[in-house]
Chain A
């Protein structure tokens, strides 16, 4: 076997990676000066590689990495507050999707004004003491106008979402379909 064929074995032998198979390599090394020189160089290289553990710049680099990682971790710790808002938004979206489609009209989506006490405006019932003839006259006067108008919508629906956070309450006002449809 020529020296070239021993190189692979010698490279392993240099790091003690041959184990019980080392006898053949040792026999060759005992009679080949060139391979002994190669072994010495390989062992020198290994020693130098081991010295690479002592890297002077690592401490400075590590400090920067630590700062960056901890900053990101702390942002992650703030996520629960963000999640409350996200959950609230998801509830609103779910309610919009779940609400019957025909109850939503284009241009009449939920108005998110300040949540007042919602009191549907209804015309007061005519007093019972009004003479029948007078009621007929009023109905006759108003009849053409009522025919031209769209049907009156029902009272707006107030939806209230309560989240885990008592400071976050979501109100949703929804126009309802006209009464009598």
Chain B
């Protein structure tokens, strides 16, 4: 019922504030969703859900503290929910070959391999390494977003980096 009351209290200022926050954060939210879900349609669905939640919560969030931590946390949670409704990720050994075989790997192809490798990680390891190595957040920030300890996050990051190295080197050896 409180939510409905919030809808009644809609004002042009609130809508303008929401549009401003969305313009600032939409690329970041989508980028994380793309890395976590590895599918543009799922990433769009996730981003849409994140911003609709933001709109509903706008009056209750502390503007002075900023929306970044909230956005990161909700994005990870929404992506996790979407990923759980999908078929499980393919195991490293079962991963299909890259599309084309070229003697020299171009940057775009190495990038594609890395993206595919990210998709093979477990959801917690993937979230930790995306926030730490792609988004450049500190270990402490990642721990806060994931609701975990720094020790756990460091362990997840270490495991994720080694798995990524293992996967990319396997693909390179096949060439």
Contacts and interface: CB of A to CB of B under 8 A. Distances in A.
A65 B111 contact: no
Contacts, number: 119
A76 B114 CA distance: 40
Interface residues of B, number: 46
Interface in A1-51: 7-9, 11-12, 14-15, 17, 38, 41-42, 45-46, 48-51
A15 to B, nearest CB: 6
A114 interface: no
B34 interface: yes
A17 B139 contact: yes
A8 B111 contact: no
Given A8-B158, A52-B134, A58-B30, A77 B10 contact: yes
Contact of B136 (A9, A48, A50, A61): A50
Contacts of A128: none
Interface size class of A (residues with CB under 8 A): 35 or more
Contact of A69 (B40, B51, B168): B51
Given A65-B26, A65-B47, A80-B8, A7 B35 contact: no
26 contacts: A11-B158, A11-B165, A12-B157, A15-B132, A17-B132, A17-B139, A17-B154, A42-B162, A45-B168, A46-B161, A48-B110, A51-B107, A51-B111, A52-B115, A52-B134, A53-B31, A53-B134, A53-B135, A61-B30, A62-B26, A62-B27, A65-B51, A66-B23, A72-B48, A77-B7, A79-B8
Interface of B: 4, 7-8, 10, 15, 18-19, 22-23, 26-27, 30-31, 34-35, 40, 43-44, 47-48, 51-52, 55, 107, 110-111, 114-115, 129, 132-136, 139, 154-155, 157-159, 161-162, 164-165, 168-169
Closest 4 pairs between A and B when the two form their complex, measured CB to CB: A49-B133, A11-B158, A11-B161, A62-B26
Given A11-B162, A17-B139, A80-B10, 13 more contacts: A8-B158, A17-B158, A45-B161, A45-B164, A45-B165, A49-B129, A49-B133, A52-B134, A57-B40, A62-B30, A65-B26, A69-B48, A76-B7
